[in-house]
Amino acid sequence: MRRFDMDWLRVLVFGLLILYHVGMFFVPWGWHIKNNEISLDLQWPMLFVNQWRLPILFVISGMGTYYAFGKRSAGQFAKERLIRLFIPLAVGMFLIVPPQVYIERIATGQFSGGYFDFWPAHAFSGGTYPDGNLTWHHLWFLPYLLIFSLVLIPVFSYLRKNPQARFLKWTAGMYSNPWKIFLLIIPLYLAEAFLEPFFPVTHALVGDWFALAFFLVLFFYGFLLIASGGRFWEFVARYRRIYLMCGIVGFTALIGIILLYPDSTWRHFTEAGIKVFNIWSWILAIFGYGSAYLNKPSRALAYANQAVYPFYILHQTITLVVAYYLMDLNWSVTTKFVILTVVTFGGSWLIYEFLIRRWKWIRPLFGLKVRRLNVDAYNNRNKELIQDIQLSKAKQ
């Protein structure tokens, strides 16, 4: 049974990711190129989003894995993951990402000449980025997701075949009150407290131990929360206001400790606890409000749900190319932000609609099935589920 709220959240969070990458052009944090005017105010909303945007994507991916596993054997699942993740990654690294490296190299004076002087002769030379030019840049999410999916196949197979497993019963027991589910932040805290100081996030896969551990746990949690029974969605919808208040308190405390206390051992361990509490609270709140208001089909969702993967692959290249031509102009940050946002979304849509979506031999290169989704079939799918949800709410 399809959860339309999961589809909506996936679309909305990936859309937010595009806005986040546009914002990276303007804030003081390290990125590929920078605007000639830096906005200090923009970093605060970006810090808020940065806390939960990637964690919730891994949780959603884990939830989707549960549903995907139900229709396939372990071998079929592994094959499907390789097709849906490795092929777009390879295509992205060969065609989509090199323009980003080229823009960075010419902006910093490390290369001169036209793009086809750079690609393919220099696009993959010198080793891996940042010293060399071979990189997956923003597509790092795909190899991490692929590795997690393959490594956890034995665990997922066991849990799918043993729905009465003691561990699943223990997890289901957390739905008895709104606070037990916070026990799940313990592994996240251990990673944040004891791995993050020694293994800063690089997205390079090799040696990226904190990110691997942290995101692997979140990916597994996504699978676990669904595998432990169908009560999860009702549970988070019921307590969504509590989790929203926890998120507000958590983020406020996080900002407070960052601004008021200097770096120290005490601050590190305290901040780690506040950080994972904040992340988990917002994830639960977002799922709760999604379950309450977004579990409904629509033609817009059917279209966007297909478009989101190609948009993710394409967007940062468009952003960087346009940003290069804007970076030295004496225009306001607001004007440049709007232009970058409109052109990034508009350019991604044009390429998706008129090149990727309509050509069956291009679709698999961007993670889509060969056949185009029948929108009406998507909208009609699981109508009984939606009616049951509405009937249940009416009875309540």
* pLDDT digits (tens), the chain, 396 positions: 678 999 999 999 999 999 999 999 999 999 999 999 999 999 999 999 999 999 999 999 999 999 888 878 899 999 999 999 999 999 999 999 999 999 999 999 999 999 999 999 999 999 999 999 999 999 999 999 999 999 999 999 999 989 889 999 999 999 999 999 999 999 999 999 999 999 999 999 999 999 999 999 999 999 999 998 779 999 999 999 999 999 999 999 999 999 999 999 999 999 999 999 999 999 999 999 999 999 999 999 999 999 999 999 999 999 999 999 999 999 999 999 999 999 999 999 999 999 999 999 999 999 998 865 444 444 555 454 445 445 545 544
Q: Give the pLDDT of residue 1.
A: 66
Tokens of 70: 């139900």
What are residue 128's DSSP bridge partners?
134
Q: Give the pLDDT of residue 127.
A: 94
Q: What is the pTM of this model?
A: 0.92
Domain of 155 in residue numbering reads as 4-395
Burial grade of 314 (CB within 10 A; 0-12, 13-18, 19 or more): buried
Q: Give the pLDDT of residue 36.
A: 96
Q: Give the pLDDT of residue 380.
A: 54
Is there a contact between 315 and 99 (Cβ–Cβ < 8 Å)?
no
Q: Give the pLDDT of residue 395.
A: 46
Number of Cβ atoms within 10 Å of the Cβ of 132: 13
Q: Give the pLDDT of residue 383.
A: 54
Q: How many domains does the chain have?
A: 1
- The alpha carbon of residue 32 and the mean position of all alpha carbons in its chain are separated, in whole angstroms, by 20
Provide the residue type at 85 as one letter. Answer: L
What are residue 134's DSSP bridge partners?
128
Rounded CA-CA distance 277/246 in Å is 8
